[in-house]
Amino acid sequence: MLERSFIVPEKLITHFHLRHGDKVGDFGAGAGNFAVVLSRAVGSTGRVYACEIQRNLVEALAERIRHERLSNVEVIWSDIESDGGTKIETGVLDAAVVINMLFQAEDRSAALREIGRTLRAGGKLLLVDWSESWGGIGPQPGLVLSQDEARSLAETAGFTFERVFEAGGHHYGLSFRKH
């Protein structure tokens, strides 16, 4: 799982139990390290919606997706903290992947509500975030979202906690289902 104690996308997504044909949202896709791996996991019949708010990252990710010829990935500039801000239809996703993003959200509850809107009933929310600041390697100490806080926010947003999963030496992983 660990490469110098950091997340290895290919190994981490084995905990997600994705299937060919799944529709997955990668919220806070950044440079696309997970979008690329998710693309392979869901296969040509699946779809990955790579959502990112930083325009420079959206452009770079779109170029990467074109270069790697990943026809099942759609890159979307989105504001996850706005109702409908991801531009994904309501109730279409089988899974939502949120990796190192929630701690950055100004309105974490709104972000989880928007993610929930995009998931079908019974869909999975897979949340990975920093377990602490790690001396500045991770987020500033005041921004770290504890595992208990993340669980509480997700449950308040309408998700049912399922399990904790291994996410590396600096992160925690939580799995939920949409009611």
**pLDDT tens figures, 109-131:** 999 999 999 999 999 999 999 98
| Predicted pLDDT at 134 | 80
| Predicted pLDDT at 84 | 97
- The segment(s) of the chain belonging to CATH 3.40.50.150 are 1-78
> Which stretches in the chain have pLDDT values below 50?
1-4
| Predicted pLDDT at 168 | 86
| Predicted pLDDT at 79 | 97
| Predicted pLDDT at 5 | 55
Q: What angle do CA 173, 41, 9 make, to 5 degrees?
A: 40
> Looking at the whole model, is its pTM more than 0.95?
no
SS (H, E, C) the chain: CEECCEECHHHHHHHHCCCCCCEEEEECCCCCHHHHHHHHHHCCCCEEEEEECCHHHHHHHHHHHHHCCCCCEEEEECCCCCCCCCCCCCCCEEEEEEECCHHHCCCHHHHHHHHHHHEEEEEEEEEEEECCCCCCCCCCHHHCCCHHHHHHHHHHCCEEEEEEECCCCCEEEEEEEEC
Q: Which fold has domain 1-78?
A: Rossmann fold (3.40.50)
